[in-house]
Amino acid sequence: MVKEIIRDPLFLQQKSEPATEADKQVIEDLLDTLKANQDRCVGMAANMIGVNKQIIVVAAGPFQFAMINPVITKKNGKYETEESCLSLDGSRPCIRYKEIEVDYLDQNFHKQHGKYSGFTAQIIQHEIQHFSGELI
């Protein structure tokens, strides 16, 4: 189900907890909401639809995929950039890495490990940063 985008900074500043299989509907809702906003949004974290769980969805071209409880295990190629967020106005400076490796669970809660670079890596880093409650 497509959900409303949360823009309340007090809510967005709360930390996110690890997700469990009880959160499967949240994953569906997050994918539906990303698809509904794909003209202006390339990724979302669950807190952007009001759920403080460690779930993100990422758009890679025409495909969208979910990562549950993702943890960045390696990062390389530090750079500075600016990003904006559907939940916030304007853009903010941030530090990103060109290449990352991530441990995560897929939508079926199977363990996965992925290597990402470029724009996809940047999206994943932005969305994971939402878990810490930082406004980014």
Determine which helix (DSSP H) or strand (DSSP E) holds 118, and give its type and residue range. helix 118-129
Dig out the tokens for 123 from the structure.
């999206």
As measured in angstroms, the least distance from the Cβ of 99 to Zn ion is 21
* Interacting residue with Zn ion among 56, 85, 100, 123 (CB under 5 A): 85
| CA 9 remoteness from chain centre | 17
Segments of 85-108 assigned E as strands: 91-105
Q: Which of 21, 82, 101, 127 is catalytic?
A: 127
Distance of CA 29 to the CA centre of its chain: 14
Whose Cβ is closer to Zn ion: residue 22's or residue 82's?
82
Q: Quote the least distance from Cβ 108 to Zn ion, whole Å.
A: 25
Q: How far is the CB of 110 from Zn ion (least distance, A)?
A: 26
Strand partners for 96: 79
Q: Which is nearer to Zn ion, 14 or 108 (CB)?
A: 14
Nearer residue to Zn ion within complex by CB, 68 or 85: 85
Stretch touching Zn ion by CB under 5 A, among 3-11, 34-42, 79-87, 100-108: 79-87
Instruction: Burial-class residue 62 by CB neighbours within 10 Å (0-12, 13-18, 19+).
Output: exposed
List the beta bridge partners of residue 112: 104
Nearest residue (CB) to Zn ion, 59 versus 85: 85
Backbone torsions φ then ψ of 110, nearest 5 degrees: -95, 140
The reply to whether 127 belongs to the active site is: yes
Q: Which stretch binds Zn ion (CB under 5 A): 29-37, 70-78, 85-93, 116-124?
A: 85-93
Task: Show which residues are catalytic.
Answer: 127
Interface ranges with Zn ion (CB under 5 A): 85
